[in-house]
Amino acid sequence: MATKALTLYDTTIGKKAVMAASGIILLGFTLGHLSGNLKAYAGPTEFNEYARWLRTMPALLWGARLALIFAFSAHIYSAFSLWRRNKSARPNRYQKKVDLATDYAAKTMYLSGPILLFYVLFHLVHLTFGGQLFGDGTIFGIEGYTWEASNPYNNLVHGFQHWPIVIPYVLGNLALGVHLFHGIWSMFQSIGANHPRYNQYRRDLAIMLAALLTIGNLSFPIAVMAGYLEPTTLRFNFPELL
């Protein structure tokens, strides 16, 4: 049989493997991000100190950011390329089609993915670049929501007192949960990690991690709105965060 000079990325399977590998990087980030944010429950000083600490290692911070940008790009580009191919593989749809195995999460990956992308951009503009966007010192022009460069804790907590911040956050995190429910299971399949002894746990792991991240992330707006997390009057002076 003729063997063609084939590279991994030429194949649909290779592209799915790239989606799985970049997905693992992005999943790792969301887990690290949540565990860092949980410091909000330890109090404003711990939370802000953690934020400052992240900025004390610019090489590591930018290394991580570059890795994430790369993973995002690879994930999105591969998804788009596969999507285009899959559309052209069946241009004429069925009049009637019954789904026997697939689920809501799997069918809406092309919806939850773009929602997540827009949410991540919104989130970056909000809490990474928020202070610099509007000249008047407010975030998204929301009255009374002022950017405090040395106090990320207040930027977080104040934000969840405003619906224009809470609604995209909740939608983004629900999309994250749905996306991961299929994505985590799917990546085992894509990289060929299957074994009769462990296969049953792949879905369990997907449910566990998707639930952990969604519930963990959604706990912040709930805690703020329930009054459990309150803005601090403490003043911080962290030049690293400027």
Partner 1 sequence: MKTKTIKLHVWRQSGPNDAGRFETYTAENVTEHMSFLEMLDDLNEKLIADGKDPIAFDHDCREGICGMCSMVINGYAHGPDERTTTCQIHMRHVFDRGWDEVWIEPWRATSFPIRKDLIVDRTALDKIIQAGGYISIRTGSARDANEAPIPKPIADRAFDAATCIGCGACVAACPNASASLFTAAKVGHLALLPQGQAERMSRVKSMVATMDELGFGGCTNHGECEKACPKGISIDFIASMNRDLLKSLVVDRGDAEAPDEGA
Q: What residues numbered 14-43 form the site for partner 1, per CB under 8 A?
A: 14-17
Strand partners, 146: 138
Q: Which is nearest to 36 in space by CA: 24, 23, 47, 25?
A: 47
Q: CA-CA-CA-CA torsion for 143, 162, 117, 217, nearest 10 degrees?
A: 140
Among 151, 154, 186, 214, binds partner 1 (CB under 8 A): 186
* Residue 96 is a binding residue for partner 1 (CB under 8 A): yes
Task: With beta carbons less than 8 A apart as the criterion, state whether 58 and 229 touch.
Answer: no
Smallest gap from residue 239 Cβ to partner 1 (A): 46
* Residue 95 is a binding residue for partner 1 (CB under 8 A): yes
3-state secondary structure of 135: coil
For partner 1 (CB under 8 A), the number of binding residues is: 48
Q: Which is nearest to 130 in space by CA: 151, 101, 103, 116?
A: 151
Smallest gap from residue 187 Cβ to partner 1 (A): 9
* Residue 107 is a binding residue for partner 1 (CB under 8 A): yes
* Residue 86 is a binding residue for partner 1 (CB under 8 A): yes
Among 135, 143, 144, 196, binds partner 1 (CB under 8 A): 196
* Residue 2 is a binding residue for partner 1 (CB under 8 A): yes
The DSSP line for 93-118 is: --SS---SS--HHHHTHHHHHHHHHH
CA–CA gap between residue 2 and residue 171 (Å, rounded):
50
* Residue 194 is a binding residue for partner 1 (CB under 8 A): yes
Interface residues toward partner 1, by CB under 8 A = 1-4, 6-8, 10-17, 82, 85-86, 88-102, 106-107, 109, 182, 185-186, 188-194, 196, 199
